[in-house]
Each structure stands twice: as structure tokens, then as C-alpha cells.
Amino acid sequence: MSKVKKKHRLTDAKEPNLLEDIFPYDLPPRIRLEGPAVEYIDGKPVEFDFGAVKDRPILITDTTFRDGQQAMPPYTVEQMVHIYDLLSRIGGPNGVVRQTEFFLYTKNDRETLDRCRALGHEHPECTGWIRAVKGDFRLVKEAGLRETGMLTSCSDYHIFQKLKFRSRKECIDSYCEVVDAAFEAGVRPRCHLEDVTRADIEGFVLPFVDRLMEMSEQVPDELSAKIRLCDTMGFGVSYPGAELPRSIPKLIYKLNRECGVPSDRLEWHGHNDFHKVHVNGATAWLYGCDFVNTTLFGFGERTGNPPLEGAIFEYIALKGATCGIDTMAITELADYMRSIGLPIPENYPFVGRAFNTTRAGIHAGGLRQDERIYNIFDTAKLLNRPPRVAITDKSGADGVAHWLNEFFGLKGDDRINKIRIHKLARWVIDQYDVESRLTTISDQELEVKAKEFFPDYWEKYKANVK
């Protein structure tokens, strides 16, 4: 690496530069990309224009009812219909959440599908998910679906160890028979390349996709095969320079540019076994996949899938606008999931109960002066979740004052200053110093004390609140 050492001169300022063009606060921070990115593929540099993502028709798809349900007890029909309704709200009029997929095997599966479609939402479009078995297309056809996913596993772990094919050729022939059956049934096949990040890319995946592309040339565009890249075990790696089969950039390049699968027929489906799931999905967008497949709150097989809400905020950050997305519905969905007994970790981004709660007094002091200091964006405006402080021995008077003002809903000059909250702050400190408490003080306990120490405020702001 050549030497690039140089001196850097201080740009003195008397006024802060808050970089508001990148951190607008009323939106998630923008991700502005300078291109081109270069990846060496087969020894040659290949350029990728990341900046184009702002104008590309990238979208989100959902598998909450399929992969999401593989990780938990089944939802009831009512629950799925309600979730579907809220998914539609999140995606907004532009259908940013474009599709969601359903099992089709049981009476409940089919009833759910019918009731979701009866809501009349254009998006998410309902698609199916079936085994790569010819007879299963009858289910898709009967359900009146235009598209279905089908398992076309492609690592030798699956081909030989699981599915017991005698050769790769036999495997491909079998898959292609099912794809033909889909075409004949007038259903668009979405071929799920299971375990692709552990497959022989040059020796199996690309020849198979070449054949799918050839077959697709024989049918109308709306039936042409889509390709879902399934990182079944979370082995995918986003870094430039990573090798196949784990390299997401190289995988997408090979399919997109060598096999000629258009971006709008390429989808990424990840798993979180190595904590890479969200970034891997976003990486797929940048390198040429138009669709990232997600589940609500990342619920999914084992460690889960790309979280839909994470993809939503990534989308807004890349586009620089909400594009009709209703982010408030994310909070409603999280509340709903909790209400039906599905736990969301407290510190889970965007929706956990404590995702924007600070416990340190020094942070609470920052929040009190300007909430932007310790809040990622205007979480009250976008998620109906103003920043909060949890009260412990580390909260200090700033933390207690912040909690109290949020509790009474006081803003600006109406806020109660630190001096006026000294009795409550003393009570908090004594819980630890005198009573030897070791736990966080709950909101319920604080509310009792707020009523005791601030009866006037209670009367004015809380007495009539049901």
C-alpha cells in the first residue's frame, strides 16, 4: 500500500455543523454512496454503480408467514390476516413491501390466503410456497396465485445428502421438469436456490440458471423464472474480495451479468447465523438484486431472516425519502406481536421496548439538552416512540428529569427543570444508597412517586387520562 500520510488542518468553527444533509433527524440518516465500487471477479476488475440504487426499483418481499412461522408456533388465521393488513400499511401505496408468501397445504393455509386477498390490498401480492413436486402446482392453480416459490436446492449437501439424487444432472432434470409444470400451469416459478452459499457455483448453479433462462425464453415474460438466492445457513459474506460460493457480490454478478437474470427477477433470502443477515440483504440490493426477502422482526428458522423493519429503514436511508412507507405501522405490529405472546428482545432495534432508552445519566443529560445527541432519528415522529430514560442509580438528576417530563408530556419551556425534581431524584438515589436496591425502577413505581411529589402536574396532565 502506498504512503498517503498528510497533515490535516483544523476547520475551526463557532457554530456547530450538524451534518443535517446526512442526518436530517426527521428521517433515518441517509446512506449516500459514492461510486463506483470495484470487485475483482475471475481476476478482472468489475465496477458496480452503488449510487444507482437511489433510482433502481429495489423492493422488499416478506416471508413472515412461511419462514417466519417455521420458527414458532403457528399463527391463527385471524392473526395472519391482521399482520397482512399491517404489512400492507407499512409498504404504503407504492407497494414497497411487494410480495408475501403462503403455505398452501392445509385448510387453514388456504382460508388465510383467501381472507388476506379479500382485504383487497394490491400489495403485498400473495404468492405461494411449495415443494418441487409437480402435483403441488394444482394447489397453486386452485388458489389462483400467479407466482410460487419452489425448492431447488443446489449445494451437494442437499442434492446428495438430503435429496439423494444420484447425480447433479438427474437433480437439474428433476427441477426443470417441475419448472416446466409451472409454465404449463400458467404459474410463474420462483426457484429458491437453497444453500447457494455452500454450492458449486460454476459446476452446478450457473449451468442450472442458464437452463432456467433458456426455458424462460420460451414463455411469456410474466411467467419467466425468478431466482431467489437462499443463504440457507447464513454463510454469505458481503466483503469485496471474498471468494465464491460465500461472496454475495460475486454470486449476484454471475447470475445477473453472466447468466443474464435481470435484477427484477433476482431476490436475496438470508439467515442470521453469523450476525450478517441485514447487511447481507442490503449488499444484495447494492450489487444488483432488486428484491430482499425479509420477515417481521427477523423471526425465522433458527437465528432468523433479514428483519423487515430493518430493510424498511435501510430502504428509506438509501432512497432519502419515505416513498409512502408508513413507519408507524411497524410499532403497531410490534405491539401486536407482543400482545399475542411473541417476545421481542428489549434492546431489539426500532421496536424493542428499550431500543431508544438510555440508562446513563450523562446520556440523559444530553437528551435533555438536545434529543438528537442520543436518539438515532425522530423516533417519536417515525415510530411513535420518543426517546426515554430508564431509571437506575446511574440515571442522575438529568435522567429523572427527562423521565418525568416525558411522562407528563412536557416540552420546551413547560418542562420541569432539574431543581424542581429534587425530591424524586433523592427518592431514586435512596433506593440504591439506603435501600440497597439492585434492580431498575419500574415506570409504575415512578408514576406513584410522580403523583405524590407533583400533584399539580398530575392533576393537570394525568388525572383525566384513561
Partner 1 sequence: MATVEERVKAITARKLRVDEVKLEDNFTADLGAESVDSIELVAMFEEEFGIEMDEDAALAVQTVGDAVKFITNVCKEQGVEIEQ
Binding residue for partner 1 (CB under 8 A) from 80, 199, 201, 421?
421
The residues that bridge with 269 in the sheet, in sequence order, are: 230, 293
Binding residue for partner 1 (CB under 8 A) from 1, 13, 118, 419?
419
Q: How many CB atoms lie within 10 A of CB 344?
A: 19
CB of 413 to partner 1, least distance (A): 12
Nearer to partner 1, 169 or 422 (CB): 422
Question: Is 426 a binder of partner 1 (CB under 8 A)?
Answer: yes
In 3D, which of 290, 285, 203 has the Cα closest to residue 248? 285
Q: What residues from 379 to 398 belong to the interface with partner 1 (CB under 8 A)? A: 396-398
Q: What residues from 17 to 46 belong to the interface with partner 1 (CB under 8 A)? A: none
Nearer to partner 1, 121 or 420 (CB): 420
Nearer to partner 1, 1 or 419 (CB): 419
Instruction: Report the distance separating Cα 287 and Cα 112, nearest Å.
Output: 35
Nearer to partner 1, 10 or 419 (CB): 419
Report the chain's terminal Cα–Cα distance, integer Å: 66
Question: Is 312 a binder of partner 1 (CB under 8 A)?
Answer: no
Which range of residues in 210-218, 227-235, 370-378, 419-427 is near partner 1 by CB under 8 A?
A: 419-427
Nearer to partner 1, 260 or 455 (CB): 455
Which range of residues in 19-27, 28-36, 190-198, 417-425 is near partner 1 by CB under 8 A?
A: 417-425
Which range of residues in 263-271, 279-287, 342-350, 416-424 is near partner 1 by CB under 8 A?
A: 416-424
Instruction: Report the distance separating Cα 138 and Cα 274, nearest Å.
Output: 38
Question: Is 417 a binder of partner 1 (CB under 8 A)?
Answer: yes
CB of 396 to partner 1, least distance (A): 4
CB of 369 to partner 1, least distance (A): 9
CB of 14 to partner 1, least distance (A): 20
In 3D, which of 231, 246, 254, 256 has the Cα closest to residue 153? 231
Strand intervals (E) in 122-280:
125-130, 147-151, 188-193, 226-230, 266-269
Instruction: Report the distance separating Cα 399 and Cα 385, nearest Å.
Output: 17
Nearer to partner 1, 384 or 417 (CB): 417
- Exposure of 148 in the CB half-sphere (CA atoms within 13 A): 31
Total interface residues for partner 1 by CB under 8 A: 14
Nearer to partner 1, 248 or 397 (CB): 397
- For helices 396-408 and 422-433, the axis angle rounded to 10 degrees is 120
Residue 195, CA distances (Å) to 26, 128, 159, 170, 273 in order: 40, 20, 10, 18, 13
CB of 327 to partner 1, least distance (A): 35
CB of 20 to partner 1, least distance (A): 25
Instruction: Report the distance separating Cα 60 and Cα 113, nearest Å.
Output: 20
**Grid cell for residue 101:** 408468501
Nearer to partner 1, 270 or 399 (CB): 399
Residues 48, 287 contacting (CB under 8 angstroms): yes
Nearer to partner 1, 310 or 361 (CB): 361
Q: What residues from 396 to 415 belong to the interface with partner 1 (CB under 8 A)? A: 396-398
Q: What residues from 322 to 361 belong to the interface with partner 1 (CB under 8 A)? A: 361
CB of 435 to partner 1, least distance (A): 15
Residue 172, CA distances (Å) to 185, 245, 386 in order: 20, 19, 53
**Grid cell for residue 198:** 455452500
Strand intervals (E) in 183-277:
188-193, 226-230, 266-269
Q: Where does this chain bind partner 1 (CB under 8 A)?
A: 361, 396-398, 417-422, 425-426, 428-429
